[in-house]
Structure 1
C-alpha cells in the first residue's frame, strides 16, 4: 500500500497545547479567558488539516480512499480513552452528584458514547458533566461525510475542487448566521450543522497546502489571542467576525508555526491534549460544585485532570498504538489529531 507516513511536526502539538490550555482556563471561569472557547475552533482547523493531508496522500498513492480502514482507524484512535473516561464517570457519578440518579448519568454517558452530544438539546438530555463531548460528536459526524466528499471533489480539476470547498466554507458560515436569529446559544454553538466551519477550512488548507512566510504564523497567533480577548461573549453580532477571524488565524498558525511551539513541554502537553480534554470537564464541574474558587478549580482541576490524561495516554493510548502496530496497522502522525474540545 506504500508508505503513507507523514513527517512529525512537534510545533503542531504545541498548537494543541495552547488550544487545550485555553479551554481548561475557560471552564475554570478564569478571569480574562471567557473567550477560551475558541480553543475548540483551533482544534477543528488543525484536525481538518491533518486528516485531509493523510487522505490526500492515500489518494495520490492509491487513487482511492479505504473508507472502512479510515473509519475504523478513527474509532481506534478516539474510542478507547472515551470509554475509559465514561467508565470511571459512571463508577463515581452517584457519589459525586448524589442529587442525580444513576439513570440520568447513564443516559448522558450513552449520548456521549454515541457521539450525539452536539444534539443532546434536541433530546432534552441532562448532560452537564459531559457536555464538553459535543466537539467530539461534531468531528466524528463530519468525518463520516468528509472522505466521501473528498472522493467526489477528486473528480474535478484541482482548482475547481478548491473553489467548491471554499464555497462550502462560505455557505456554512452563512447558515450559521441565519440560524443565529433562530436558535438559542447551546443549539447554535454545539451543533454539527452550525459549527463545522473550522473543520471545513482545515480541510481546505490541507488540500491546498500553500507555502506562506514564517511571519504570518505570528500574525495567526496574535489573531487567536485577539479573538479570545475581544470576543468573550457568543452573541449574534460577534459571530460574524469572531469565528472567521479565529479560523483564519488558526490556518495561518498551522501553515507556518513558530519553531518555539515545538519545545518539549508544549509538545508533551499537545500529545496529552485529547485525554486532558476528556478528563478535565467533569473533574472541574465537581470541584466547582464543592464551592471552591476559580483559582482552585484551575490549579487543582487542571493538575488532576492532566495527571489522569497522562495515565490514560501511557496506558490505554500507548497499548492501542502498540496493538495496532503489531497487527500491521501503520501508526501515523495524523492519528494525533485535535480530537477535542
Structure 2
C-alpha cells in the first residue's frame, strides 16, 4: 500500500519500455524474495538470536503485506488476460496443492518425534479444512504454522473468479476501500469467530468441492462461482479466527489490483490511499487486538515499510536486479512452506539456543538458513516445477473443450489508444507470470518483547 496525494493519483505512472518478459517480471520475484527473507527472519530470530529481533516493526507482518500486494497486483489481471476460468483454476491447483500436501505428509510422518501443533483438531474437521485451504477462515490450525495465510489467498481467488464472471472485476479500487472500511467496523464489533465448532469446516468443504467442480466443468459456472464467493465472505466475517485481520488482508490484495490498473491507465490511485488509511487504523480499537505488532507505532511503521518496498519494486521494474533476490522469489512458496517445520526439527536437535554463546548462535543460524535454502531449492526442483509443468499440459489439453473459457471481460471498458496500451502493456506484463501466493506469518503471534514466546512454549520447547 502506498501513501500518495490526490494529485498524484490523476495520471498513471510512466511505464518503462519493455526489455523482455523476464526483466519485466523480475521486480515481482525480487519482492517475493524480500518477503520470504523477512518471514524466515521472523521465525528464526526468536529461536536463535532473540536479542537481534526488531520490535519497532514486525518482520512477519511486513512480509505478508508485501506478498499479498504482489498477489493482488498480478492474479486478477492474469485471469483477465487469458479469460479462461478453467485454466486459471487448474494452474492454481497444480501450483499450490502438490507441495502443500507434501509438507502435510512430512509433518504427519514425523509426528512421533515432533508432535503436530495443538491448534490442529484431532477430528475430521482438520481434514476438511486442509482440503480446501480455508483453514483460518474456519478457525482451524494448519499442520504447518504458516499455512494460515493460504486461507486468504483462496478467498481472494474465489472472489476474483466470481467478479470476473459477472463483469465486476474492474472495480478493484472500490472493493479495496469497502474491505478496508469493513475491517474497521468488524474490528469494533467482533472479538473472534461468531460461528464456532467443526461444522463450518465440513460445510465449506462440501460447498467448495461441488462448487469448484461446477466451475471447472462449466456447469452453472457463474452461479457456482457466486455461491463460492458468498460463502468465502461469510466465512471471513463469521468464522475467522481474527475477523478484522482477514478483512484487512482482502483489502490489501484488492489494493494491489488497483495499483496495477492505475499503472496501466485504467484506474485511479486515490482509492489505494484511502485503503491505506483505513487499514492503518483498523486494529487500533479492535476488540480482538492487543498484540505488540498492532500497537500504533509498530503497525504504522510496518505498513509504511511494506508500501515503500512495493513502490521501490515498481520503480525498478524493467531493470536488472540481484539474481539472489529473483531466485528467492522463484522458490519463495517452497521457502514459505518448508522453513517453519524445518526450524522446529533443527531446534529439536540442537536444543534451546536462546542462551547459548553468540558465536554458536550465529553458526547455528547460518547452518539453519543453509538447510532451509537447500531444502527449498530441492522441493522447487522436484515438486513444484514438475507439477506446474503438468498443470500447464493439463490446462492446454482441456482448453478447447466446451465451457473452458469464462465470460468475456466486461470490467475494463476501454477503447482506442488506451485499449491498445492495455493490450500491449498489461497483457505483456503478466505473460508467463505465475505468482507465488506466499502467505507467511505464524498466526498465534501474541508475544511481547519482554517475553518472546513466538513458537516456543513456556517450557522452552518448540511447539
Structure 2 residue aligned with 1:273, among 315, 318, 332? 332
> Which of the pair has more CA radius of gyration?
2
Question: Equivalences for 1:1-341 in 2 at 5 Å?
Answer: 7-8=21-22, 9-28=25-44, 29=46, 30=50, 31-34=52-55, 35-37=58-60, 38-58=62-82, 65-97=83-115, 104=122, 111-119=129-137, 121=139, 125=140, 127=142, 130-153=144-167, 161=170, 164-181=171-188, 182-183=190-191, 187-188=241-242, 192-210=246-264, 233-235=292-294, 237=296, 241=300, 245-246=304-305, 248-257=307-316, 262-288=321-347, 291-293=351-353, 295=361, 298-327=365-394, 329=396, 333-341=432-440
- 8 Å CA contact 1:25, 1:33 repeated in 2: no
- 8 Å CA contact 2:178, 2:251 repeated in 1: no
CA, structure 1 residues 100+177, in 2 after alignment: closer, same or farther (shift >3 Å)? closer
1: CA distance, partners of 2:262 / 2:81: 13
Question: Which range moves more in the overlay, 98-107 or 77-86?
Answer: 98-107
2: CA distance, partners of 1:152 / 1:250: 33
- 8 Å CA contact 1:202, 1:251 repeated in 2: no
2: CA distance, partners of 1:23 / 1:179: 27
2: CA distance, partners of 1:55 / 1:99: 36
- For residues 181-219 of structure 1, give each alpha carbon's deviation from its aligned partner in whole angstroms, at most 9, with x where no partner exists: 4436993379533421221111112223258xxxxxxxx
Question: Which range moves more in the overlay, 29-38 or 291-300?
Answer: 291-300
- 8 Å CA contact 1:138, 1:192 repeated in 2: yes
Question: Which range moves more in the overlay, 8-17 or 80-89?
Answer: 8-17
Q: Could you list the runs of 5+ residues in structure 2 that have no partner in the other structure?
A: 1-19, 194-239, 266-290, 355-360, 400-429, 441-463
1: CA distance, partners of 2:164 / 2:119: 44
**Which has the larger helix fraction?**
1
* CA drift at 1:108: 5.1
- 8 Å CA contact 2:141, 2:148 repeated in 1: no
CA RMSD after TM alignment: 3.7
TM-score, normalised to structure 2's length? 0.56
* CA drift at 1:66: 2.0
Structure 2 equivalent of residue 228 of structure 1: none
- 8 Å CA contact 1:52, 1:207 repeated in 2: no
* CA drift at 1:132: 1.1
Match of 1:83, SS?
Answer: helix
1: CA distance, partners of 2:174 / 2:302: 16
2: CA distance, partners of 1:303 / 1:106: 36
2: CA distance, partners of 1:99 / 1:262: 39
Structure 2 equivalent of residue 219 of structure 1: none
Match of 1:95, SS?
Answer: coil
Question: Which range moves more in the overlay, 307-316 or 191-200?
Answer: 191-200
- 8 Å CA contact 2:42, 2:59 repeated in 1: yes
* CA drift at 1:307: 1.9
- 8 Å CA contact 2:334, 2:376 repeated in 1: yes
* CA drift at 1:250: 4.4
TM-score, normalised to structure 1's length? 0.73
CA, structure 1 residues 54+258, in 2 after alignment: closer, same or farther (shift >3 Å)? closer
- 8 Å CA contact 1:80, 1:316 repeated in 2: yes
* CA drift at 1:260: 7.3
1: CA distance, partners of 2:434 / 2:118: 36
2: CA distance, partners of 1:102 / 1:238: 33
